[in-house]
């Protein structure tokens, strides 16, 4: 449309120029016509008062001086013979008198016409050489002089067409215009005006019909391209077009940039989607009302529901086990109330579509959108059933290992036990023998039965005491081996020591070791698996005593202490230490001390310390050792204090 508008504006502009040109041409033609009429009158005026040829010549010369377009005026008689003439002073033309007088000359033809018309008549134009090699187009005007009914003579005036243009039209011509007289067929007779050529030419033609002949007045005008722009409409439309094209270019560029951004975005989205789809971690997003807004394929595979079954669910999601739904709902409410720390991780149990339960690790974090607004919750799920299974396996094997270690301890103790039981049994045996002897002697006549009975009673009492002692020894071992409940309980530290002291003293006595214990007064109870901790203490004490089993070492003191954690960081912990005065631990041994099956003793299993560390770490504590001055080693481990709230 804009292009059409520009074109129409151009057309309009062109038509304006054309019509101006037409007007100019019409004006020029009417100028020429009125000048010719005026000349006819002037020529008629020459004959006024029947002048003498001399006077006529003076008047005619005067007229020729004034009217440059006229080249020559002749006065001819009725037979067309020349009476007299006058020549233009401006233009020397060599006239051939003979041809001019001929009855076929243009002048004669014009006069014939004039006689017939009874008024002035013009001849057609003809080329008149000037004698200097040049020439110009001429035209004759014949004016019959009326006498008494028949022509008294003629005035023949010769016009130079070129001068006609110069004098009659030239003053109105603009610089970019060209005026010319042409014949009807387009042949140019005289031309005036610019030879300049612009980019575009306009042409107008107008007929100048004269009695006896007709000429065509033609005007050409050139217009340069810039003249299109002064036109306000054109300028406006052009400016708008340029603006529009600029806007379009900007738009196209913007659109291209937008497309590129969209493509990049789509790529990023596809990448993210591929990433989410290939994750093994389940992902789920919920809005602030708790409705599920997104689940990834891994989550669907985990719970066995399709996304359609999950999306939009809020309370009682289909993967909640019915028996736990209430608890989960409360947890969700707590979460939405903002009472849980962000990025909160916890373990939970979910139900698959087929009803089987499985443990999951859930990590929940608030979902913050690009504007920084909290729009919901994002959760990541890890199916930890496999992990659980492996943990279970390792726990079982650990337990088996511990049991083995305990049995090994028991095996070692069996010899000690036999030695320990030997004493009461020997005592029982000798008391029994003594009693039998007493009973036998009391049967002899003359014996003091009452005194014997007294002795037997005493011996039986001793037997009973020794049997009890033996029973205690066996019971302590029995207790140690059999007790296998894994529950954690709050135990006073003293009780832990008391439980193992009988067992320790068995070996201590054999090795000549003095056992010292010291428990800081007012200690709180510790939360532990009593059996396992006793085993740890027993192992450490045994290792300590074995380390002192060297003839060179004297005195042999085993020191067992319990106190509160020394530093602030350990104020919630009890610290157990077992100190010996043995040979210490060489660096190469220290490196693999806790490696299972590492031992330096021929009959050792190498499981003791590794088990000790496992047990202590299961309680959250740590087991460490350091050299003891002046000799020996201190093994230290920590156990948590029982917090009242946790009981
Ligand atoms: P085992 O007692 O069956 O050898 P342990 O794991 O209890 O297995 O001990 C491994 C090794 O650590 C022992 O063989 C011993 O060389 C060393 N060891 C343990 N306790 C002490 C100690 N108090 N003093 C010196 N060496 C020790």
DSSP H helices, 123-175, are 161-164
Question: Measured between alpha carbons, how far is 285 from 259 in angstroms, rounded to an integer?
Answer: 30
Residue for token digits 């916890």? 346
- At 353-408, the pLDDT tens digits run 898 999 999 988 888 888 988 888 888 998 888 888 998 998 888 888 777 777 77
Q: Residue 630: is the preceding peptide bond cis (ω within 30°)?
A: yes
- At 476-512, the pLDDT tens digits run 777 766 655 567 889 999 999 998 888 888 788 888 9
Ligand 1 within 6 A of 547 CB?
A: yes
Q: Which of the listed residues 536, 588, 599 should we mutate to test ligand 1's pocket, taking the one with most ligand atoms within 8 A of CB?
A: 599
Question: Measured between alpha carbons, how far is 204 from 505 in angstroms, rounded to an integer?
Answer: 144
Is the Cβ–Cβ distance between 463 and 430 less than 8 Å? no
Ligand 1 within 6 A of 517 CB?
A: no
Instruction: Please name the helix (run of DSSP H) or strand (run of DSSP E) that holds residue 318, with its range, or none.
Output: none
CA dihedral 116, 119, 124, 129 (to 10 degrees): 110
Instruction: Please name the helix (run of DSSP H) or strand (run of DSSP E) that holds residue 370, with its range, or none.
Output: none
Left, alpha or beta for 347 (phi > 0: left; psi -120 to 50: alpha)? Answer: beta
Q: How far is ligand 1, taken at its centre, from the CA of residue 512, in Å?
A: 19
Q: How far is ligand 1, taken at its centre, from the CA of residue 488, in Å?
A: 28
Is the Cβ–Cβ distance between 216 and 180 less than 8 Å? no
Q: In this predicted structure, what is the pLDDT of residue 509? A: 86
Nearest CA to ligand 1 atom 11: 599
Nearest CA to ligand 1 atom 23: 544
603-609, long-range: CB < 8 A, 24+ apart: 603/412, 605/404, 605/405, 605/408, 607/401, 607/404, 607/405, 607/408, 608/405, 608/409, 608/539, 608/542, 608/543, 609/539, 609/543
Lowest mean pLDDT segment, chosen from 46-50, 85-89, 407-411, 583-587: 407-411
Distances, alpha carbon 26 to alpha carbons 89, 189, 209, 325, in Å: 31, 19, 13, 107
Ligand 1 within 6 A of 153 CB?
A: no
596 or 138, which is more confident? 138
Cβ neighbour number for residue 543 with a 10 Å cutoff: 22
- At 211-224, the pLDDT tens digits run 988 899 998 888 76
Nearest CA to ligand 1 atom 16: 600
Give me the chain's average pLDDT, please: 85
Is the Cβ–Cβ distance between 388 and 357 less than 8 Å? no
């Amino acid at each position: 449309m804009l292009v059409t508008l520009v074109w129409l504006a151009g057309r309009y502009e062109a038509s304006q120029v054309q019509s101006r040109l037409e007007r100019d041409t019409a004006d020029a033609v009417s100028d020429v016509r009125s000048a010719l009429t005026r000349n006819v009158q002037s020529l008629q005026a020459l004959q006024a008062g029947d002048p003498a040829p001399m006077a006529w010549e003076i008047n005619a010369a005067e007229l020729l001086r004034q009217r440059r377009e006229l080249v020559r005026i002749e006065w001819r008689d009725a037979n067309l013979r020349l009476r007299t003439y006058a020549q233009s002073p401006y233009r020397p033309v060599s006239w051939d008198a003979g041809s001019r007088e001929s009855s076929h000359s243009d002048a004669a033809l014009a006069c014939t016409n004039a006689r017939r018309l009874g008024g002035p008549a013009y001849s057609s134009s003809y080329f008149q050489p000037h004698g200097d090699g040049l020439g110009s187009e001429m035209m004759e005007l014949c004016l019959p002089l009326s006498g008494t009914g028949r022509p008294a003579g003629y005035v023949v005036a010769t016009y130079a067409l070129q001068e006609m243009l110069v004098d009659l039209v030239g003053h109105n011509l603009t610089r970019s215009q060209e005026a010319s007289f042409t014949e009807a067929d387009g042949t140019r007779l005289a031309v005036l005006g610019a030879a300049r050529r612009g980019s575009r030419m306009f042409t107008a033609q107008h007929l100048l019909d004269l009695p006896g002949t007709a000429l065509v007045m033609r005007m050409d005008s050139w217009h340069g391209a810039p003249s299109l722009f002064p036109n306000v409409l054109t300028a406006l439309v052009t400016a708008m077009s340029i603006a529009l094209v600029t806007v379009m270019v900007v738009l196209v560029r913007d659109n291209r940039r937008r497309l590129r951004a969209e493509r990049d975005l789509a790529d990023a989205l596809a990448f993210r989607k591929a990433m989410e789809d290939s994750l093994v971690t389940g992902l789920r997003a919920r809005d602030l009302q708790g409705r599920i807004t997104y689940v990834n394929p891994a989550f669907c595979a985990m719970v066995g529901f399709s996304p359609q079954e999950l999306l939009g669910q809020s309370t009682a999601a289909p993967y909640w086990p019915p028996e736990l739904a209430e608890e989960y709902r409360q947890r969700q409410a707590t979460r939405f109330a903002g009472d849980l720390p962000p990025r909160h991780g916890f373990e939970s149990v979910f139900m698959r579509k087929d009803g089987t339960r499985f443990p999951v690790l859930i990590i929940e974090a608030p979902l913050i959108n690009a504007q920084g607004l909290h729009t919901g919750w994002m959760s990541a799920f890890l199916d930890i059933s496999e992990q659980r299974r492996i943990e279970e396996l390792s726990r079982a094997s650990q337990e088996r290992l511990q049991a083995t270690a305990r049995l090994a301890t028991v095996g070692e103790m069996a010899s000690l036990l036999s030695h320990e039981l030997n004493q009461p049994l020997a005592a029982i045996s000798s008391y029994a023998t003594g009693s039998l002897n007493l009973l036998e002697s009391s049967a002899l006549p003359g014996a003091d039965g009452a005194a014997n009975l007294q002795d037997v009673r005493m011996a039986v009492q001793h037997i009973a005491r020794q049997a009890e002692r033996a029973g205690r020894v066996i019971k302590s071992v029995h207790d140690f081996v059999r007790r296998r409940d894994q529950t954690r309980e709050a135990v006073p530290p003293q009780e832990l020591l008391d439980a193992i002291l009988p067992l320790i003293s068995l070996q201590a006595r054999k090795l000549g070791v003095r056992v010292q214990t010291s428990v800081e007064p007012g200690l709180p109870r510790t939360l532990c698996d009593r059996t396992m901790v006793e085993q740890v203490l027993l192992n450490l004490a045994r290792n300590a005593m074995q380390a002192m089993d060297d003839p060179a070492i004297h005195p042999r003191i085993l020191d067992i202490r319990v106190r509160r954690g020394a530093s602030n960081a350990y104020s919630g912990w009890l610290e157990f230490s077992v100190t010996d005065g043995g040979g210490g631990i060489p660096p190469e041994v220290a490196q693999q001390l806790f490696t299972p099956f590492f031992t330096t003793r021929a009959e050792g299993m190498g499981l003791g310390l590794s088990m000790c560390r496992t047990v202590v770490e299961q309680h959250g504590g740590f087991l460490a050792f350091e050299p003891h001055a002046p000799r020996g080693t201190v093994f230290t481990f920590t156990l948590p204090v029982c917090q009242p709230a946790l009981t």
